[in-house]
Chain A
Amino acid sequence: MMRFIITIKMALRALRRNTMRSILTALGIIIGVGAVIAMVSIGNGAKAQVQNAIAGLGDNLIIISPQSQNTGGVRGGAGTGVTLIPADADAIVTDLQEGSNRVMSVSPYVSGGGYQILANGLNWRPQSMLGVGPDWPDIRSWKVAEGNFFSDDDVKAASKVCVIGKTVADTLFPEGSAIGQMMRIGNIPFKVIGIMDVKGYSNNQDQDDVVLLPYKSHMTRLSRRTSVNSIYVKARNEDVVERVKTDLTDLMTQRHSGVIDFQVQDQAEIAALRNQATTTMTYLLGAIAGVSLVVGGIGIMNIMLVSVTERTREIGIRLALGAHGKDVLTQFLIEAILLSSLGGMMGVALGIGGSEIAGKYAGWAVEPSTPAMVIAVVFSSLVGVFFGFYPARKAAAMDPIEALRYE
């Protein structure tokens, strides 16, 4: 043990003797590990955000969206089709919700922003302007803080009423209550009848910067369209989600004359889909990390070989004074390991610092991963063992007489 401590001290001294060289040698490892730690932190942050966003959708949610549209052989992205209509939602209500107790609530979903709001002498362009059904608060597990949500009748009559998020309320009506106030949306007057509870940020989006309209009002008065973006269905509980999905698929297939121009997805599937990209990214990062560690390791091996040659005389002295080959091997191996593991630790520090800074300036969520740090440090030490072994063995195999004569 005593000897081990002395060996580490000797190794540290040898590294300090050529501080600049040691730092440059370790730089490969530092940058490699730093980059990986930073990317993993940012990736983790993104993943957590996606998960939060999906969890925030509400429980036991199933979303029906149109299959991607094919126009002249060009395949659009998912949801570009225009095959879902409000009648589909009505059919789900009559056929499934009223026929069984498995479906809790149903709501069409129409989005489309870009409408300027004018109220109280102020201007505002909210992040989203959604047309939804009266079940929306239940589906999104989102309570109305003040006033009321619109009713079925409001939808049927395409009433000019709206419910707004907290951000919109605070911006347009900084003093006094927004309830009962009028807002002009795209020049059409709507009456504010409710304010939603604060939901906070998700995916860097202010979820409270929203205006909710009866979907029919949205379709007839603003967006002037006949199709909906998607239909949200809430199942009674987790156990019936699969059953509801089957029922929905059957019903929709039947309604669409056997053409499957839609997709039925539950939350888990959506989450998996979004995570897939992150997972691919993680593998890519791992590959980059591997490559940079190998490159860094070769740098270490190179410098250790130089160091062994430079210190031939020292090795000769040690061997003459009674060091075994094993002692010399350990000495050089520890130097290589120290070099690489210190590099790894500096890389971790750099990665954390770098990701924090990047996160601050770019506004990304950053979540450093402890396992990634441990793995990075352990792995860089292993790189030291692997790439330090050959030079160390070369040192240990020296002939003391030859080594002592070396100039």
Chain B
Amino acid sequence: MAPVVKIEDLHKIYDSGEIPVHAVRGVSLDIHRGEFVALMGSSGSGKSTLMNTLGCLDRPTRGSYWLDGTDVAKLDSNQLADLRNQKLGFVFQGFNLLSRTTALENVELPLLYSKKRMSAKEMKDRAMYCLEIVGLSKRYDHMPNQLSGGQQQRVAIARALVNEPQVLLADEPTGNLDSKTSIEVMGVFQKLNDQGITIVMVTHELDIAHYCKRDLILRDGVVVRDELVQDRSVAEQELQRLAEAEAKAKLIGNPVPAT
């Protein structure tokens, strides 16, 4: 089966400044359907550039990129936009929900720009279904500022899912979340991955990368390590362990004396 993402000798050079910056220097990569890839690397390693290229927001300087069999280099900006809309789902570090817009309408947003014509009812049903997947259907009419960080990120995941993308791209999705909420979000990703959705995720945190199936490490624009994750964390178990620890702490912990 053909890989859903195929990159060959990808280069990206930024020459807007005085000195051209060679951000990505020859990355080749195959990602198959159903994979769950963590993309790691320090700042300046080129992972953001690689993500932008994978997300069809940017075009490579050299090399080629096939997304689900489409040669991305040949597309104009409108075709790229359609590709992003149809084949990719984005989850950002800062959630990037539209403020003062309900969760439901945020999720509907990609449908609005879809080539498929849908009635208002179909759009709403589809968006509600996606909110259901991330467990937020009851809060469909909440504004982002009425939701916690973890809930906002789940709305963002629902939005990423609404057009049934081939690949879900997450750029440090847990970067703004506390550890427990991070695990919850990883739990959502694992569940989605179990249903067969391909996920590529940038992260700084090694323990978060442990929830993925494959770990890619980038340094100075090249892939320096590409390996399968050994003894993978399972979010459900981790959450349970966390809950038990909390309960225990409450039982044995000395109450703070009243002053």
Interface residues of A in 321-337 (CB under 8 A from B): 321-327
Task: Give the distance in Å from the alpha carbon of A399 to the alpha carbon of B141 in the complex.
Answer: 31
| Listed A/B pairs (19) with beta-carbon separation below 8 Å | A3-B112, A6-B120, A13-B100, A317-B96, A318-B113, A319-B81, A320-B55, A320-B90, A321-B84, A321-B110, A321-B113, A322-B81, A322-B85, A322-B86, A323-B81, A323-B112, A324-B81, A325-B77, A404-B96
Tell whether A400 is near chain B: CB-to-CB under 8 Å.
Answer: yes
| Cβ 8 A contact of B58, one of A2, A6, A13, A401 | A401
Residues of A within 8 A of B (CB): 2-3, 6, 13, 17, 313-314, 316-327, 400-401, 404
Write out the residue numbers on chain A whose beta carbons fall within 8 Å of the beta carbon of B58: 401
Given contact pairs A313-B96, A321-B110, A322-B86, enumerate 15 new A-B contacts (beta carbons under 8 Å).
A13-B100, A318-B109, A320-B55, A320-B84, A320-B90, A321-B84, A321-B90, A321-B109, A321-B113, A322-B110, A323-B113, A325-B78, A326-B78, A327-B113, A404-B92
Write out the residue numbers on chain A whose beta carbons fall within 8 Å of the beta carbon of B110: 321-322
Count of A-B contacts judged by CB separation below 8 Å: 58
Task: Give the distance in Å from the alpha carbon of A327 to the alpha carbon of B109 in the complex.
Answer: 12
Tell whether B245 is near chain A: CB-to-CB under 8 Å.
Answer: no
Q: For the complex formed, measure the closest distance between the CB of A320 and the CB atoms of chain B, giving whole angstroms.
A: 6
Tell whether B159 is near chain A: CB-to-CB under 8 Å.
Answer: yes
Residue of A whose beta carbon sits closest to that of B48: A401
Q: Which of A318, A320, A404 has the most CB of B within 10 A?
A: A320
Tell whether B57 is near chain A: CB-to-CB under 8 Å.
Answer: yes
Task: Give the distance in Å from the alpha carbon of A321 to the alpha carbon of B56 in the complex.
Answer: 11
Task: Give the distance in Å from the alpha carbon of A222 to the alpha carbon of B97 in the complex.
Answer: 90
Tell whether B240 is near chain A: CB-to-CB under 8 Å.
Answer: no
Task: Give the distance in Å from the alpha carbon of A302 to the alpha carbon of B81 in the complex.
Answer: 29
> What is the interface of chain A mostly: helix, strand, loop, or mixed?
helix
Interface residues of B in 94-137 (CB under 8 A from A): 96-98, 100-101, 109-110, 112-114, 117-120
Tell whether B244 is near chain A: CB-to-CB under 8 Å.
Answer: no
Whether B57 and A17, one on each chain, are in contact in the complex, defined by CB atoms closer than 8 angstroms, is no
Whether A401 and B117, one on each chain, are in contact in the complex, defined by CB atoms closer than 8 angstroms, is no
Tell whether B52 is near chain A: CB-to-CB under 8 Å.
Answer: yes
Q: For the complex formed, measure the closest distance between the CB of A316 and the CB atoms of chain B, giving whole angstroms.
A: 8
Whether A401 and B78, one on each chain, are in contact in the complex, defined by CB atoms closer than 8 angstroms, is no
Q: Which 6 A-B pairs have the closest CB atoms?
A: A322-B85, A322-B113, A321-B110, A323-B113, A322-B84, A317-B96
Whether B52 and A401, one on each chain, are in contact in the complex, defined by CB atoms closer than 8 angstroms, is yes
Write out the residue numbers on chain A whose beta carbons fall within 8 Å of the beta carbon of B57: 320, 400-401
Write out the residue numbers on chain B whose beta carbons fall within 8 Å of the beta carbon of A401: 52, 57-58
Tell whether B178 is near chain A: CB-to-CB under 8 Å.
Answer: no
Interface string of B52-88 (1 = CB under 8 A from A): 1001011000000000000000000110011011100
Residue of A whose beta carbon sits closest to that of B122: A2
Residue of A whose beta carbon sits closest to that of B162: A321
Whether B100 and A17, one on each chain, are in contact in the complex, defined by CB atoms closer than 8 angstroms, is yes
In the complex with contacts A2-B119, A401-B57, A322-B114 CB distance below 8 A: yes
Interface residues of B in 116-174 (CB under 8 A from A): 117-120, 159, 163
In the complex with contacts A401-B52, A401-B57, A321-B92 CB distance below 8 A: no
Write out the residue numbers on chain B whose beta carbons fall within 8 Å of the beta carbon of A324: 78, 81-82, 113
Write out the residue numbers on chain A whose beta carbons fall within 8 Å of the beta carbon of B55: 320
In the complex with contacts A320-B55, A324-B81, A2-B113 CB distance below 8 A: no
Write out the residue numbers on chain A whose beta carbons fall within 8 Å of the beta carbon of B84: 320-322
Task: Give the distance in Å from the alpha carbon of A297 to the alpha carbon of B195 in the complex.
Answer: 53
Residue of A whose beta carbon sits closest to that of B85: A322
Task: Give the distance in Å from the alpha carbon of A150 to the alpha carbon of B230 in the complex.
Answer: 125
| Cβ 8 A contact of B98, one of A317, A320, A325, A404 | A317
Q: Which of B98, B117, B163 has the most CB of A within 10 A?
A: B98
Whether A2 and B117, one on each chain, are in contact in the complex, defined by CB atoms closer than 8 angstroms, is yes
Whether B109 and A2, one on each chain, are in contact in the complex, defined by CB atoms closer than 8 angstroms, is no
Task: Give the distance in Å from the alpha carbon of A313 to the alpha carbon of B112 in the complex.
Answer: 18
Task: Give the distance in Å from the alpha carbon of A318 to the alpha carbon of B97 in the complex.
Answer: 10
Residue of B whose beta carbon sits closest to that of A327: B113
Task: Give the distance in Å from the alpha carbon of A3 to the alpha carbon of B109 in the complex.
Answer: 11
Write out the residue numbers on chain B whose beta carbons fall within 8 Å of the beta carbon of A327: 113
Task: Give the distance in Å from the alpha carbon of A316 to the alpha carbon of B94 in the complex.
Answer: 13
Task: Give the distance in Å from the alpha carbon of A320 to the alpha carbon of B100 in the complex.
Answer: 19
Task: Give the distance in Å from the alpha carbon of A323 to the alpha carbon of B100 in the complex.
Answer: 19
Task: Give the distance in Å from the alpha carbon of A13 to the alpha carbon of B57 in the complex.
Answer: 28
Whether B112 and A6, one on each chain, are in contact in the complex, defined by CB atoms closer than 8 angstroms, is yes
Write out the residue numbers on chain B whose beta carbons fall within 8 Å of the beta carbon of A320: 55, 57, 84, 90, 96
Write out the residue numbers on chain A whose beta carbons fall within 8 Å of the beta carbon of B82: 322, 324
Write out the residue numbers on chain B whose beta carbons fall within 8 Å of the beta carbon of A314: 98
Task: Give the distance in Å from the alpha carbon of A207 to the alpha carbon of B158 in the complex.
Answer: 79
Residue of B whose beta carbon sits closest to that of A1: B117
